[in-house]
Amino acid sequence: MSLFPTGEDRVTVDEAARRTRDADAPAVLLDVREQREWDAGHAPGAVYAPLSGLVAGVALPDEARDRPLVVICRSGQRSQQAAELLTARGAQVVDVKGGMRAWAAAGYPVVDDRGNSGSIA
């Protein structure tokens, strides 16, 4: 049974948070931005896998393998590319409309690479 309804390929930040933020959440929030963006600020609990690596054929991190994925980037464009790529590889994927900008604007937490309050680069 699929976590994502048939035909659903994008979700709001509220839906992304609902599906990924709890310890027993059914999906993984996969951040596909580049290293400097991740270091500046990301959602707590997100898993990092830059789009450039995915395009180059790098495998998903262990925490994201065989789990439904909610893919996020800064604004929603790279996450769409990543979602298409990962779907073609057989993953169950949706991407987040508006990306980390929308996440932060909605008041969800953003932390830097040290766990302090972060920003969206």
- Note if 24 is an active site residue: no
- Residue from 32, 49, 64, 73 carrying the catalytic annotation: 73
User: Which residue spans within 1-121 are E strands per DSSP?
Assistant: 10-11, 28-31, 47-48, 69-72, 93-96
Q: What amino acid positions are annotated as catalytic residues?
A: 73
